Amino acid sequence: MIGSARAYSNIAFIKYWGNRDDTLRLALNGSISMNLAGLETITTVEFSSDLEQDQLSINGSDQSEGALARVSAHLDHFRRRAAIDLRASVRSTNNFPAGTGVASSASAFAALAVAADSALELHMSEKELSMYARLGSGSACRSIPAGFVEWYAGPDDASSFAESLAPPEHWNLVDLVAIVSREHKAVGSTGGHKVAPTSPLQGARVADAQRRIDWCREALLRRDFNALAEVIELDALMMHAVMMTSKPTLLYWTPATLGLIEAVRQWREKDGLPVAFTIDAGPNVHVITEASFAEEIAEGLRALPTVQEVLSGRPGGAATAIDTHLRAS
């Protein structure tokens, strides 16, 4: 029983930070994102009676402990659903360089969910795949549907899933990921979600989230870049304000991060370019622009001495099952 899938990473325009239920990964607030074609994971899952335990390889290197335990726990949901007790071998490859701070968990758990569904012939709906992907990593539920996506936080498991707001062709946006550090972050997002409630600002961020979601959704549907820029920067800064004021303090920025924020604002406000920033749980800056300006902006980013590399993602499609001949090695 074998299945393979491809899923794209995604960048959140309205961020998910903090859960009402950490085990089920039920978010405290809804979020909106864009799938990133160009930054993808391909995963093959093979269930077999020959295996005594689950196996995991990522980019050709065998994993044990943390990563393997998380993948095994995720496969357990599928084993329960299919009423089987077979162990599986999971082979996964990312086409984006390791250690660049680009979140691989979204594309990884979306690809794992679709590959497991395909291997076990469960024929889950997109909604169910999104719910199952969410159990592995919250943001992974947004990598299941195509293009521009909204995750409804829901009050419970069945109502917490993502849906497409618009297909990838809706708007030629580009995410230029300016890499300023490849260091492994001290506290990852799973740990970060747990400490979010310790910030006195988290309540205000969550209470205002629906307003920002509506604002962002409208800006996306109208292709209004200035409105999008305003809301995504506000939302990213609110999340980082929560991070910085939680216990322990999570300060992901470096001086290079701040330099990029200033550069992006200058390009937009002084030079009139359609460009905006957003930042996840790390120091690297996602610079959002329109495709026709992407080359000019990427050159501007590469010219900054703090920028080591610029990765690029354009609006991507849904996570899909692929022929196992193309499978991850």
Residues that bind ligand PMV (CB under 6 A): 12, 15-17, 31, 103, 105, 137-139, 189-190, 193, 280-281
294 conformational bin, left if phi > 0, alpha if psi -120 to 50, beta if neither: alpha
For the chain, how big is the Rg over CA atoms in Å?
19
The token pair at 300 is: 């501007």
Tell me which amino acid residue 2 is.
Answer: I
**Nearer CB in complex with ligand PMV: 11/146:** 11
At position 208, the amino acid (one-letter code) is: D
**Least distance in Å: CB of 177 to ligand PMV?**
12
Contact 315, 170 (CB under 8 A): yes
Helix (H) or strand (E) holding 90: strand 87-94
Cβ-based nearer residue to ligand PMV, 100 or 189: 189
For the CB of residue 151, give the shortest distance to ligand PMV in the complex, in Å.
Answer: 8
- The distance of closest approach from Cβ of residue 165 to ligand PMV in the complex, given in angstroms and rounded to an integer, is 15
The DSSP element (H or E) to which 14 belongs, if any, is strand 2-14
* CA 184 centroid distance within chain: 17
- Nearest to ligand PMV of 135, 263 (CB atom): 135
The kind and range of the H/E element at 215 are: helix 209-222
CA distances from 176 to 21, 222, 302 (A): 33, 22, 11
Smaller CB separation from ligand PMV, 16 or 78:
16
Minimum distance, C-beta of residue 264 to ligand PMV, in the bound complex (Å): 18
Of the pair 12, 195, the CB lying nearest ligand PMV is at 12
Minimum CB distance to ligand PMV smaller for 75 or for 106: 106
- 231 with 238: CB under 8 angstroms? no
CB of 329 to ligand PMV, least distance (A): 26
CA distance 21 to 10: 22
Q: Which one-letter DSSP state was computed for residue 185?
A: P
Q: How far is the CB of 253 from ligand PMV (least distance, A)?
A: 13
Cβ–Cβ < 8 Å for 73, 116: no
**Nearest distance in Å: CB 48, ligand PMV:** 29
Structural tokens at position 118 = 């395909």
Q: Kindly tell me which of 55 and 181 has the beta carbon lying closer to ligand PMV.
A: 181
Q: Which is nearer to ligand PMV, 11 or 273 (CB)?
A: 11
Closest CA to 250 of 178, 184, 199: 199
Question: Nearest-CA neighbor of 322 among 56, 41, 80?
Answer: 41
Nearest to residue 327, comparing CAs of 3, 94, 1, 71? 3
Residue 99 CB, nearest distance to ligand PMV (Å)?
A: 16
User: Toward ligand PMV, which CB reaches closer, 135 or 307?
Assistant: 135
CB of 30 to ligand PMV, least distance (A): 10
